[in-house]
Structure 1
Amino acid sequence: MSHGIRRSIAQVIITGFLVVLLAAGGLGAAPADRVTLRLGWVMKGEYAFLFLGKERGIFEKHGINVEILEGKGSVAAMQAVATKNDTFGYTGGPSFLLSRSRGMPIKMVALVLQQGPQVLLSWPENPVRTPKELEGKSIILSPGDAFHSLWPAFAAGNNIDRSKVKEIVVGPDVRGQTFLLKRADVTPEFVTSAVYPLEEKAGVEFVKIWLGEIGWDTISNGIFAHEDTIRENPDLVRRFVAATLESFDFAAKNIDLATDVMVPKLGGQSRAVVRKQIEATVRLAQTKRTKGKPLGWSAPEDWKDSLSLMAKGGQMQTTEARGVYFYFTNEFIPTK
């Protein structure tokens, strides 16, 4: 065999090998950035869009290999990001506002749930229909939970005499069981997680005070990052936000697929309950001020209103000096 023929055969083999590598993404493709996302709570239907996005390769498409980790409360999730043990976090609400106001080096980069999912539950035979009716009743409070942070402001703003309310402090992991055993009259819960499983277990529909309907809605959950990450690696933040919001949009349009992903992760919860949680999550993605804006974009006025509510309890000062952009940014929200 001549030298020229051997060289031609070698070129064909090399070319074929390169084609295979390119088809597999093995040549020229930058390795995906490995990041962690710390959730604010244990598994619940609200998180379906994140797991669906990972399963469907949406994060991978944006060059991200994400590990999604369960949480043990909003404050713990924020501390994990503030200490750089985790890259990103997903939680928010009053706990985020308080923590950031006290100097925690984190900032919201995409507000996914712009309306709060919280309600106050009571039993039909012992209903609490207005905030003032909490006097003479008992309420469950869980340190690190959103309502625990909101409670002083909520009580002050609704002229509730806290000395007339029995505050039962338990960990968030036993709050639902404490309520089902009727050891408290009222419990705060989320329509994106515990409300529907509790109703299914109790076999009743609870009386609900929707906080948003009585003027106590605060900004809710979203993606936040350490200030250093935002400053030093804005491209990573931009891609992670894009992947998160694309995942949410995909889940909103494919509720059945999102339900399929989450049912195995929520052992013991029926498919119907999980679907209700996901549907409730999708409904909370915008406020009146953000309709027509890109998903994840939040209105400065909504942040200002939330901060004003928190200031009523004396836990934080009004924030005119810092301004609302101390808490969040819209710069990473995709415009298309």
Structure 2
Amino acid sequence: MLRKLVIALIVPLVLVGAALAQPDARQADSVNYATSFGNFGRDAYVYVAIERGYFRDAGLDVKVTSGTGSVDNIKLVAAGRLDYSPVDIGALVVTKANEGLPVKIVSVVHQNTMSAIFTLEERGITTPKELEGRTLADSPASTVRILFPLYAKKAGIDASKVTWRDAAPPALPALLASRQVDGIGQFSAGLPLVSRAAGGKKIRSFKYSKVLPGLLGIGIIASEDKIRTNPGQVRAFTRALNKGLAWSIQNPGAAGAILAKYQQLADPVVAAQELRIMKFFVENKQTRARGYGVGYIDTGKLASTISVIRNGFRIAKPVPALDLYSGVAVPARRPR
């Protein structure tokens, strides 16, 4: 009897000791992610998801690099050098139609496009037409630059009369402030950053959404191979990222501080201001009233985006909406 009691006490201890000696059976999946365009407040949500443990809880180890624009990010995801990245959906329609790259949207960040051209009010450019004869700066792979011919067509601008200067994302605000260029490509949420760089001078914004109301903005993409072979990871990553996005727009001050922790050159106050602006592009009546949540894919709006891009760029073989997105991670439907 005593012998049985001793064994009964020892066996659990041995099992516990063996468990402690073993490495964690569930190793975190390594994930490579690039921001949309530099490291501004609009991309803070990925760092929030890291800091608050959303990725860790999903079994993911996410490494973040600075993106240089939608076209570059699309190609890197298609080539397998990135697992996920935010890209402009309009730019994706063009790139996928022209090059047939095997990537799909798995979540939508901005339910409307934030693309815009910023100028200093003191430059005297009061209408889009007055951009003719001027020099604008942006990254060659930037969404704003890629879609500019379409914006120009709708806004009555002769795009051939606009000169573009190549510049990296971090350099754009200073180029505008120093009057080295007449305007820069930016997202609407970038207004606080550009205003600060310009010493508080008034900024005039020409928003693409004014003449292109049917365009979706940024979406998260993954490769078709990743979606097919590892849908569980796609779901886990996307849902964790969207938790970071939802928390960021509700807590912009804290999210800005988290961004500054990971990116020391980021100004937490400016980042928070960007997120306050971005909230109006992330949420709409579908994400709120219908309870679909941030990231929801509006297939009707996606079809509208494809139509606008097809007509503007005269794409010979437009991409069907079903080939552009996957509903593996978030709701994807046409609102009633």
Same fold by TM (over 0.5)? yes
Q: Which residue of 1 aligns with 2:11?
A: 11
Q: Which residue of 2 aligns with 1:297?
A: 296
The correspondence of residues 55-94 of structure 1 with structure 2, limited to 5 A, is 55-94=51-90
Look up the SS of the partner of 1:133 in the other structure.
helix
Look up the SS of the partner of 2:282 in the other structure.
coil
Q: Which residue of 1 aligns with 2:225?
A: 228
- How many residue pairs get aligned? The number is 326
Q: Do the aligned partners of 1:242 and 1:334 also contact (CA within 8 Å) in 2?
A: no
Q: 1:166 to 1:12 in 2, by over 3 A?
A: closer
Q: Do the aligned partners of 2:135 and 2:165 also contact (CA within 8 Å) in 1?
A: no
Q: Are positions 1:273 and 2:266 aligned together?
A: no
Q: Which residue of 2 aligns with 1:218?
A: 215
Deviation by residue 1:132-172 (Cα, 9 ceiling, x = unmatched): 22234333343101121111112222232234x33132123
Look up the SS of the partner of 1:284 in the other structure.
helix
Deviation by residue 1:275-328 (Cα, 9 ceiling, x = unmatched): 111222222113566652332112222122222332344352473xx4212211
1:116 equivalent among 110, 113, 116:
113
The one-letter code sitting in structure 2 at the alignment partner of 1:37 is Y
State the distance in 2 between where 1:268 and 1:34 align: 26
Q: 1:286 to 1:129 in 2, by over 3 A?
A: farther
Q: Which residue of 2 aligns with 1:54?
A: 50
State the distance in 1 between where 2:124 and 2:305 align: 28
State the distance in 2 between where 1:312 and 1:282 align: 30
Q: Are positions 1:198 and 2:194 aligned together?
A: yes
Q: Do the aligned partners of 1:106 and 1:225 also contact (CA within 8 Å) in 2?
A: yes
Q: 1:130 to 1:312 in 2, by over 3 A?
A: farther
Q: Which residue of 1 aligns with 2:132?
A: 135
Look up the SS of the partner of 1:114 in the other structure.
coil
Q: 1:123 to 1:250 in 2, by over 3 A?
A: closer
2:149 equivalent among 125, 149, 152:
152
Look up the SS of the partner of 1:192 in the other structure.
helix
The one-letter code sitting in structure 2 at the alignment partner of 1:53 is A
Q: Which residue of 2 aligns with 1:35?
A: 31
Q: Which residue of 2 aligns with 1:186?
A: 183
Look up the SS of the partner of 2:68 in the other structure.
coil
Structure 2 unaligned spans of 5+? none
State the distance in 2 between where 1:91 and 1:25 align: 41
Q: Are positions 1:256 and 2:238 aligned together?
A: no
Look up the SS of the partner of 1:115 in the other structure.
coil
Q: Do the aligned partners of 2:214 and 2:301 also contact (CA within 8 Å) in 1?
A: no
Look up the SS of the partner of 2:297 in the other structure.
coil
The CA RMSD measured in Å over matched residues stands at: 2.7
Deviation at 1:35, TM superposition (A): 1.6
Q: 1:197 to 1:255 in 2, by over 3 A?
A: closer
State the distance in 2 between where 1:5 and 1:81 align: 59
Look up the SS of the partner of 2:27 in the other structure.
coil
Look up the SS of the partner of 2:164 in the other structure.
strand
Deviation by residue 1:72-120 (Cα, 9 ceiling, x = unmatched): 2222211111111122122224322211222111000111222222222
Look up the SS of the partner of 1:283 in the other structure.
helix
Give the structure with the larger helix fraction: 2
Q: 1:93 to 1:16 in 2, by over 3 A?
A: closer
2:167 equivalent among 165, 168, 171:
171
Q: 1:305 to 1:12 in 2, by over 3 A?
A: closer
Q: Do the aligned partners of 1:141 and 1:167 also contact (CA within 8 Å) in 2?
A: no
The one-letter code sitting in structure 1 at the alignment partner of 2:166 is V
Q: Which residue of 2 aligns with 1:207?
A: 204
The two structures have a TM-score, normalised by structure 2, of: 0.86
Deviation at 1:4, TM superposition (A): 4.5
Q: Do the aligned partners of 1:91 and 1:223 also contact (CA within 8 Å) in 2?
A: yes
The two structures have a TM-score, normalised by structure 1, of: 0.86
Q: Do the aligned partners of 2:123 and 2:182 also contact (CA within 8 Å) in 1?
A: yes
The one-letter code sitting in structure 2 at the alignment partner of 1:202 is A
State the distance in 2 between where 1:271 and 1:217 align: 32
State the distance in 1 between where 2:271 and 2:111 align: 21
Look up the SS of the partner of 1:68 in the other structure.
strand
State the distance in 1 between where 2:94 and 2:22 align: 45
Look up the SS of the partner of 1:208 in the other structure.
strand
